[in-house]
Amino acid sequence: MPILHLEMHPGRTLDQKRAFVREVTRVAVETLSCPPESVDVVISEVAREDWAKAGKLIADK
C-alpha cells in the first residue's frame, strides 16, 4: 500500500487539496498498478516559522 506524505505551508484551499489528492492518487494507480483504495495520502501543514531552508527560517526571508 503506497503511503504518500506531503508537507507544505498552510494556505491551500480545501478544493486545492482535493484536486491534489485526486491527481496524485490517479498517478500512483497508473504508475504502481495498484487499486485506488490502497493509496493513502497524508497532508501535513507546517507553519512558516517552523520551516527552515539553507540555515534560515522561511519566515525570515
**Any idea which residue has 506531503 for its cell?**
6
35 is catalytic: no
pLDDT of residue 61: 79
User: Which residues span the domain enclosing 46?
Assistant: 3-60
pLDDT of residue 53: 93
pLDDT of residue 26: 98
DSSP per position, 33-44: T--GGG-EEEEE
List the CATH number of the domain containing 17. Answer: 3.30.429.10
Q: Model confidence over 7-50: pLDDT tens digits?
A: 999 999 999 999 999 999 999 999 999 999 999 999 999 999 99
- Model pTM score: 0.83
Number of domains in the chain: 1
Q: How confident is the model at residue 59 (pLDDT cuts 50, 70, 90)?
A: confident
